[in-house]
Amino acid sequence: MRSVRARAALGATLVVALALTVAGLAVLAVLRGNLTDRAGLEAEVAAREVAGQLALGVAYAELELGDEDTRPVQVTDGAGRVVAVSKDLDAISGTGTAEVTPVPSAPVPGDDGDGDDGDDEGDDPARGEVSSDAPDFANGTATVDGETADYRFATVEATTRQDVTLTVHAGSPLAAEQEAVDTVRTSMLTGLPLVLLVVAGVTWLVTRRALRPVEGIGRELAAITASEDLGRRVPEPDSRDEIARLARTTNETLTVLEASVDRQRRFVADASHELRSPIASLRTQLEVGEAHPELLDVPGAVADTVRLQVLAADLLLLARLDAGERPGRTPVDLGALVREEVSQRAADRIPPQVCAADTGSLEVSGSRGQLARVVGNLLDNAERHAERLVAVSVRADRGDVLVEVTDDGAGVPEAERERIFERFVRLDDARSRDDGGAGLGLAIARDVASRHGGTLTVGAAPDGGALFTLRLPRQAGPGRGPAAGDG
């Protein structure tokens, strides 16, 4: 069953069916119990009426047994012999004995042995009594005047004047209870399918209405996939439910995907444009050298080749970063790394100076090669824009390690301080490519810093110029071995 609507309708129907079944059984049980208790109460009243007559000394033949057609009565003595039964009682069960014929020799209540009726003034005025204990109840059957039915029997004991204990069994019919239960059961069995049909239909319609926006989202996504137009967006319903949040999340995902694709396209276009110039220059020099060897500019060809090599390395590193490659987890002493990078630039146009450096260990966790690339790119950028000074400082700052690179150049306008970290961006468009690079250094530096859990920002130096701040989390524990991808 692949339809959500069908599954929802089936699930709701099953739940309602189970709930109604349990509720119906409970109702039937309560109804049956109440009606049975009512019949038992009626039987108890009838049994106590007969027991009261026996306690007063009424003879068996003179007992008033009430409605004998609907309430059968059976009286037994202490030996279990039947001494009295109601009129037309043909058979009985559930009272302890199935006999319905009185024993002729049973003692008669009120007979005190003096030959009179027991009502003389000189007779013993003592009276019998009816047991005050709760009666016993039992279900059984009785055949009265040829008709057999189910009854609820109540059993009450009575003691006569002669201290003879008699047991009265009186029954109340259960026909009303059975009829009521059958009627309720039939009504439930008849109405249950109709209720379930209504529940299934309503659930189907409500689910269909609720999922209609999802179908619209699915159709629009299919159209976007077919057209490859990431500028389109799925419809967002006005509701504030999960479907509306799904639509908004989908549109946010499409926005991020569109930006990523556009960024990738611009990256490919810019990379092609950057590669075209050194390749064209190198080809021209080689063609001239082939035709006129004496005119071959070997240093220029080598410079173009180096530029191609650097650009290819930058593009490869960016591709690895975009692919989500995680840096290594090797402990790197950032202070030693900065001093090493600075020492290798003594012959630069403006040699950098280490103006401040903590003497202790400033270890971070990551790839030494990538972190050296970050420091090198920052120094290259500072030298490119500096007039007379490039300064570097490295220090601990609470749980981080800070590397600050400053220059005394023109600085970075505040409005452009985020844009310079975009790929292939140069603020000085008139600057030659040979002098200005490809515009990838700062983008690579920020990406690497981010992959190492740090940040790279730019601000204004105290004495003018630009101040680049690299912040990396300081390694607290012992270092671990190098990981794959350490470059």
Looking only at the bridges linking them, the beta strands covering 400-407 and 390-397 are: antiparallel
R_g of the chain, CA atoms, integer Å: 52
Residue 367's nearest CA partner among 410, 407, 321 is 321
Residue ranges per structural domain of the chain: 4-181, 230-324, 327-473
Q: What is the pLDDT of residue 324?
A: 75
Decide if pLDDT at 433 tops 50: no
Decide if pLDDT at 106 tops 80: no
Q: What is the pLDDT of residue 476?
A: 67
Rounded to whole angstroms, the Cα distance separating 281 from 294 reads: 17
DSSP labels, 258-321: HHHHHHHHHHHHHHHHHHHHHHHHHHHHHHHHHH-GGG--HHHHHHHHHHHHHHHHHHHHHHHH
Q: Which residues pair with 317 in a beta bridge?
A: none
Q: What's the mean pLDDT in 125-154?
A: 87
Q: How far is residue 389 from each of residues 121, 129, 444, measured CA to CA in Å?
A: 144, 125, 24
Q: What is the pLDDT of residue 220?
A: 86
Decide if pLDDT at 115 tops 60: no
pLDDT band at residue 65 under the 50/70/90 scheme:
confident
Q: What is the pLDDT of residue 111?
A: 56
Rounded to whole angstroms, the Cα distance separating 348 from 371 reads: 21
Topology given in CATH for the domain delimited by 230-324: Helix Hairpins (1.10.287)
Decide if pLDDT at 254 tops 50: yes
Q: What's the mean pLDDT in 198-204?
A: 89
Q: Which residues pair with 172 in a beta bridge?
A: 152
Q: What is the pLDDT of residue 391?
A: 93
100: how many CB neighbours lie within 10 A of its CB?
Answer: 18
Mean pLDDT of the chain: 83
Phi-psi bin for 163: left (phi > 0), alpha (psi -120 to 50), beta?
left
Per-residue pLDDT reduced to its tens digit, 315-348: 888 777 777 777 778 899 998 999 999 999 888 8
Q: What is the pLDDT of residue 105?
A: 60
Decide if pLDDT at 437 tops 80: no
Q: What architecture is the 327-473 domain classified under in CATH? A: 2-Layer Sandwich (3.30)
Measured at the CA of 197, the angle between CA 195 and CA 202, to 5 degrees, comes to 95
Q: How far is residue 383 from each of residues 371, 390, 414, 423, measured CA to CA in Å?
A: 19, 6, 20, 20
Rounded to whole angstroms, the Cα distance separating 182 from 428 reads: 95
Rounded to whole angstroms, the Cα distance separating 251 from 243 reads: 12
Q: Let me know if 362 is exposed, middle or buried by CB neighbors in 10 A (0-12, 13-18, 19+).
A: buried
Tokens 């400053």 found at? 406
DSSP conformational letter for 131: -
